[in-house]
């Protein structure tokens, strides 16, 4: 996180060049830190995927809720909105496609209040309002649909035991002395995951957008989502940081050669693009 003593916040014109130089230093540091860990992940990537794949189980979706911006209403099962920069919690958007290939996700929640809060209620905090009420105060045009389906493989990250094997593989990661020295110089923490509890906390951070938004580097939860996606797992079951209810990040492209599907529950307008996503059309969800 950026310190409030950062000259970017000083308001003085004379500080602008210094602020720009500091910002470029921070961007370069975060890129080097990301690269250090990416190199070590790549050396054991197959083992990381296997550790997660072994913990994935079938999951039934019964009348869950999907909230989306109105401009996507004719394709409510589409994933196009999820790749808009910076992407979603568990998928990488158009941060820098030349460095970080994009991949999409379909986000749903177990109830309407959570779906609305996840879509609209996370940018502001007002103590007197619940996340659902806060979402409803926003004037954005939205659509909410009920969905059901079956997923062959879902990783439940609310269960610590499902992450233990993954953490055992990454807890020994280290960074070069030069990167550690730069971190001390800039006052940046080197947050390397050592325990399941640390991983769980990082995956559910409210401020996960800081990394992609400020430094053009994917957040840890997005990197984790990439590994789950590459492991051919259909989705991630996680807890909403706003309502504590269940949410799902679904990867329709992984429905190939499986019985997984997701579909709309209610009768649909004739103009609707797609009512059901399964192995026959999972490649065209954007």
pLDDT tens, residue by residue, 190-245: 888 999 999 999 999 998 998 898 889 999 999 999 999 999 999 999 999 999 99
User: Does 283 have pLDDT greater than 70?
Assistant: yes
- Is residue 154, in this structure, part of any structural domain at all? yes
Each residue's pLDDT tens digit, 38-60: 999 999 999 999 999 999 999 99
When pLDDT is averaged across residues 17-36 and rounded to a whole number, the result is: 82
When pLDDT is averaged across residues 152-159 and rounded to a whole number, the result is: 98
- Is residue 6, in this structure, part of any structural domain at all? no
Q: What's the confidence (pLDDT) of residue 18?
A: 58
Q: What's the confidence (pLDDT) of residue 263?
A: 97
* Cβ–Cβ < 8 Å for 240, 109: yes
- Is residue 93, in this structure, part of any structural domain at all? yes
- Domain boundaries, position 160: 11-277
Q: What's the confidence (pLDDT) of residue 129?
A: 62
Q: What's the confidence (pLDDT) of residue 284?
A: 73
- Is residue 2, in this structure, part of any structural domain at all? no
Q: What's the confidence (pLDDT) of residue 285?
A: 72
Give 19's Cβ-side CA count (13 Å radius): 15
Q: What is the mean pLDDT of the chain?
A: 87
Closest CA to 160 of 194, 103, 131, 199: 199
Is 107 in a helix, a strand, or coil?
strand
- Is residue 249, in this structure, part of any structural domain at all? yes
Please state the pTM of the whole predicted model: 0.88
Q: Which residue has the higher pLDDT, 268 or 244?
A: 244
- Is residue 24, in this structure, part of any structural domain at all? yes
- Is residue 34, in this structure, part of any structural domain at all? yes
Q: What's the confidence (pLDDT) of residue 131?
A: 62
Q: How far apart are CA 243 and CA 245, in angstroms?
A: 5
- Is residue 88, in this structure, part of any structural domain at all? yes
What is the number of structural domains in the chain?
1
Q: Which residue has the higher pLDDT, 22 or 173?
A: 173
Backbone angles phi, psi at 221, to 5 degrees: -65, -35
* Cβ–Cβ < 8 Å for 223, 91: no
User: Does 116 have pLDDT greater than 50?
Assistant: yes
* Cβ–Cβ < 8 Å for 217, 30: yes
When pLDDT is averaged across residues 119-143 and rounded to a whole number, the result is: 66
User: Does 258 have pLDDT greater than 60?
Assistant: yes
C-alpha radius of gyration, the chain, whole number: 20
When pLDDT is averaged across residues 81-107 and rounded to a whole number, the result is: 95
């Amino acid at each position: 996180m950026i310190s409030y003593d950062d000259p970017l916040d000083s308001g003085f014109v004379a500080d602008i060049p210094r602020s720009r130089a500091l910002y470029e230093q921070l961007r370069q540091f975060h890129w080097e830190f990301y690269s250090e860990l990416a190199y070590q992940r790549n050396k054991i990537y197959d083992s990381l995927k296997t550790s997660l794949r072994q913990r994935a189980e079938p999951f039934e979706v019964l009348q869950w809720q999907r909230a989306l911006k109105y401009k996507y209403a004719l394709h409510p099962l589409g994933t196009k909105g999820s790749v808009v920069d910076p992407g979603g919690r568990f998928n990488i958007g158009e941060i820098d496609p030349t460095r970080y290939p994009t991949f999409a996700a379909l986000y749903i929640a177990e109830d309407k209040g959570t779906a609305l809060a996840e879509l609209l209620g996370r940018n502001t905090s007002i103590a007197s309002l619940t996340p659902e009420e806060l979402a409803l105060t926003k004037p954005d045009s939205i659509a909410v649909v009920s969905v059901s389906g079956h997923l062959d493989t879902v990783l439940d990250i609310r269960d610590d035991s499902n992450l233990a094997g993954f953490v055992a593989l990454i807890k020994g990661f280290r960074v070069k002395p030069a990167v550690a020295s730069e971190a001390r110089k800039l006052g940046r923490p080197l947050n390397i995951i050592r325990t399941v509890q640390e991983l769980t906390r990082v995956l559910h951070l409210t401020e996960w957008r800081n990394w992609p938004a400020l430094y053009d580097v994917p957040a840890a939860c997005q990197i984790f989502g990439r590994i789950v996606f590459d492991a051919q797992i259909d989705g991630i079951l996680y807890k909403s940081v706003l309502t504590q209810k269940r949410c799902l990040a679904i990867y329709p492209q992984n429905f190939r050669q499986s019985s997984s599907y997701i579909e709309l529950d209610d009768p649909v307008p004739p103009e609707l693009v797609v009512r059901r996503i399964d192995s026959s059309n999972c490649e065209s969800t954007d």
